Structure 1
Amino acid sequence: MSEAPAYVVANLIVHDQAEYLNYEKGFFPILKKHGGSFFTFDDNVKHLEGTDPREGRMVIFQFPSADAAEAWYNDAEYQALSEHRRAATTLVSLTLVHGLPPRG
């Protein structure tokens, strides 16, 4: 049986677009190195319910497993690159979500 996929959901507010572009330029090769793929992003999310309204950009990435997602996040190359994100944004949340295992 295959491992379940995992998703990383980021909610951030970009306040320095030029610096954020430095982050984006290096992001995708590191994501792919860990088997990750870009799923979607939205700058105009609509909060439907609850006490924690989301602001800014929501981004979702998919990985083949939770281990792959954690390896991506802990990768020294990613951590160095993420300094551009930290300088350019306010991070509301960065969440690892476990997917359902394949049916079979």
Structure 2
Amino acid sequence: MSVYFIAQIKINDMVEYNRYLEKCDEVFSKYNGEYLAVDSNPEILEGEWDYSRSIIIKFPNERELENWYKSSEYQQILKHRLKAAICDTIIVHGK
């Protein structure tokens, strides 16, 4: 069953966030994930959106997502994203 990593990100420090961006695709490519959307200007249908960017990443299963997220390579760069931004992330299970 596919799973989706969904992130709402409010960037506060673009220099630090760019340190994350410099390495994230290289690490991500090793874990069978697929970017479905990266959007800095989504259409708001309801409520409020106080973020800089929304991201949806699809993984073939939860194990692949966990392998990526918990990998030492990703953990080394994740600190840059978390330092540079407020991040609300969830895992959504597909059908």
Q: CA deviation at 1:54?
A: 3.1
Structure with higher helix content: 2
Q: CA deviation at 1:47?
A: 3.4
Q: CA deviation at 1:27?
A: 0.5
Q: Distance in 1 between matches of 2:62 and 2:94?
A: 9
What is the aligned partner in structure 1 of residue 90 from structure 2? Answer: 95
Aligned counterparts, 1:4-83, within 5 A? 4-49=1-46, 53-56=48-51, 57-83=53-79
What is the aligned partner in structure 2 of residue 84 from structure 1? Answer: 80
Q: How many residues align structurally?
A: 94
Does the 8 A contact of 1:37 with 1:61 survive in 2? yes
Provide the secondary structure at the position in 2 that maps to 1:49.
coil
Q: Deviations over 1:45-78 (max 9, x none)?
A: 333335xx33211111111111111111111111
Does the 8 A contact of 1:45 with 1:55 survive in 2? no
**% of aligned pairs identical?**
31
TM-score, length basis structure 1:
0.81
Q: Distance in 2 between matches of 1:28 and 1:62?
A: 14
Provide runs of 4+ in structure 1 moved above 6 Å. Answer: none
User: Based on CA coordinates, which of the two structures has the bigger radius of gyration?
Assistant: 1
| Alignment-mate amino acid for residue 78 of structure 1 | Y
